[in-house]
Amino acid sequence: MVAQTVIPNPGFENWTTFSNYTDPTGWDTPNQELMSIPFFGFSVVTKSTDHQGSGSYSARLETKHLTLPPLDVPGFMTCGTLTVNITAGTYILSGGVPCVDLPTHLKGYYKFFPKGGDSCAIGIGLTKTTGAVKDTIAYGSFSTKDTIPDWTPFSAWIDYISTVQPDTMNIIAMSTAQQVMTPGTVLYVDNLFLDYTTGFNEKDPAAGVQIFNDRETSRLMVFYDFPKAQNVRVSLTDMRGRRVFSCDPGFVDKSRTILPYDNLPRGVYVVQVIHDHLSFTKKFFLNKQL
């Protein structure tokens, strides 16, 4: 039997209780640092009985406002290690769990209730450490700003940028994935799993679509690889929802679309690819070469 990479506590059924907070077992959150603040502390990741499928619990992530020091804090969890500096409003993300194979997707279920145009994100990164050097081998993410009131599946296609076998996997989820946050935004996450699909899944919005950021030429390149022609529309929007680029390639099977961004200000943008009534979105931080 071939070993597979294991997501810790993927259904969030197990929780570890500390002195004044709980964390999902196998995951790190800002709860410890936040609850250490006298009088004003709170948790941003909590156990919820609103769950998907079998089991009893899910993870509830909420963006909240800290009074002292004044700071908006997103619900955030990672299967790595999270080091938070409340005073500076910064954090360092490190570590993860062993990765022994090459998954193609991170999948699971979520519900999302945004406030003030907030967007959430669920992401995965695969790395390889050689000596003191850690290289990114692959990454993938799912993001949306839509209200999703019912448990809904998500799929994050994992893009491999190296042929090296990774040794570490980290998964993160955050209720707010942008710099300007709105307290009250809530994300629920449940039943995460890794997929190893090698064929084409016509129900998967990520199937047949790959997006690469060519930083040297300041272009996003959208590649299509469909078993039969599908009607495709592509758009690029900023985090305020303003469309800055759109095109209709029409019916394509194996083709590509180029989205230049050299004239756009640096920032976070979302690419949306609609094909055969499916919608695939991916977020990028775009910063043109100087």
Q: Kindly report, residue by residue over 80-90, the tens digit of the pLDDT.
A: 999 988 888 88
pLDDT of 1 strictly over 60 = no
pLDDT of residue 39: 86
Q: Which residue has the higher pLDDT, 214 or 94?
A: 94
**CA distance to 32, 60, 68, per residue, from 35 (Å):** 5, 17, 12
Tokens 């307290």 correspond to what residue? 183
Rounded Cα gap, residues 198 and 268, in angstroms: 30
Q: What is the mean pLDDT of residues 27-47?
A: 94
Nearest Cα residue to 237 out of 119, 155, 157, 158? 119
Q: What percent of the chain is modeled with pLDDT above 90?
A: 57
Q: Kindly report, residue by residue over 38-77, the tens digit of the pLDDT.
A: 888 999 999 999 999 989 999 999 999 999 888 999 999 9
Q: Kindly report, residue by residue over 240-271, the tens digit of the pLDDT.
A: 888 999 999 999 988 888 898 988 998 889 99
Rounded Cα gap, residues 165 and 66, in angstroms: 41
Q: What is the mean pLDDT of residues 197-212?
A: 77
pTM exceeds 0.75:
no
Number of Cβ within a 10 Å radius of residue 251? 12
Domains and CATH numbers, the chain: 15-195 (2.60.120.890), 209-286 (2.60.40.3080)
